[in-house]
Amino acid sequence: MNLKKMFDLNGRIALVTGSSRGIGQAIAMTLADAGAQIIIHASRNDSHMEKTVAAIRNNGGQARTIAADLASPEEVKKLIDAVGELDILVLNASAQSYQSLEDFTPEEFHRQYEVNLRSSFELVQAFVPGMKNRRWGRILAIGSVNQHKPSARLPIYSTTKAALNNLMNNCARQYASFGITVNNLAPGVIMTDRNVDVLNDEAYRNKVLAMIPAGRFGKAEECASLALLLCSDAGSYITGVDISVAGGMQL
């Protein structure tokens, strides 16, 4: 067994949506370390994108950037056209807001639905044909522990993540015979920019910690290591799975 070869992604092209920071950034940098050419995506061009690309290139990797607002069907189409051929699709970008159900506006509902579900569907639909032709492909959705245990303050986010996992199961069944694996990685509470503000509240922080059997919050790199397995030949016989990286919080 040649472990280096099993995890080797040289010659593969990977798009990681929402990869200028947080979990997406960690996954992008890990796939780059394994040899993949990385497309860094964010909703708009900013310094975070450029710093991520610079870090990958400084480490000997290959990366480029594409900015697109996934809430806009027109910009999703531009993203698809700009990417071209693709071997690995990591659906990491998402929109969320902490609020009760009765506080949601129609606009916020549609924003989360568009970013979290519709754009993911359109990206899969666009890139699957090429993967089928090459008889190799990896699709990995980044879900959430909320798809199993919905937070009262994330009602629409939780719903879209559960729907996304259902879509991945459907795709896994359809495309397995073409050498395409389709899986879902469901993070728990990971210490990223997104979670810093809400966890600054000590009372809320302690309440959340009490829900995690491991007794700590996770790191983005702990999601990235699993992503590498599922996006490489090492994971070629793993499809249709939903794996929580949550310290047991999903239980």
Half-sphere exposure of 206 (CA within 13 A, CB side): 2
pLDDT at residue 193 tops 90: no
Side-chain-side CA neighbours of residue 160 (13 Å): 27
For the cut 80, the answer to whether the pLDDT of residue 159 exceeds it is: yes
> Which one of the listed residues 157, 175, 204, 237 is annotated catalytic?
157
Cα dihedral sign, 51-25-108-102? negative
Confidence of residue 204 (pLDDT cuts 50, 70, 90): confident
pLDDT bracket for residue 220 (50, 70, 90):
very high
Which pLDDT score is estimated for 199?
85
Tell me what pLDDT residue 201 has. Answer: 86
Question: Who has greater pLDDT, 130 or 203?
Answer: 130
Q: So what's the pLDDT on residue 218?
A: 97
| CA 61 – CA 63 distance, rounded (Å) | 7
pLDDT of residue 56: 98
Q: Grade residue 211 by pLDDT with cuts at 50, 70 and 90.
A: very high
Per the DSSP assignment, residues forming a β-bridge with 15 are 39, 89
80-94, pLDDT tens digit by residue? 999 999 999 999 999
Query: pLDDT digits over 64-78, tens only?
Result: 999 999 999 999 999
Instruction: Check: CB of residue 186 under 8 Å from CB of residue 148.
Output: yes
Supply the DSSP string of 185-238, one letter for each residue.
Answer: EEE-SB-SHHHHHHHTSHHHHHHHHTT-TTSS-B-HHHHHHHHHHHHSGGGTT-
Mean pLDDT of the chain: 96
Q: Check if the beta carbon of residue 184 is closer than 8 Å to that of residue 92.
A: no
Nearest to 221 by CA among 26, 53, 17: 26
Calpha distance 182→45 (Å, rounded)? 29
* 157 in active site: yes
**Above 80 in pLDDT, residue 79?**
yes
**Nearest-CA neighbor of 56 among 26, 25, 29, 24?**
29
For the beta sheet containing 88-91, the strands, ordered from the edge strand earlier in sequence to the opposite edge, are: 62-67, 37-42, 13-16, 88-91, 137-142, 180-187, 242-245
Cα–Cα distance, 139 to 227 (Å, whole number): 10
**How far from the centroid of its chain's Cα atoms is residue 76's Cα?**
16
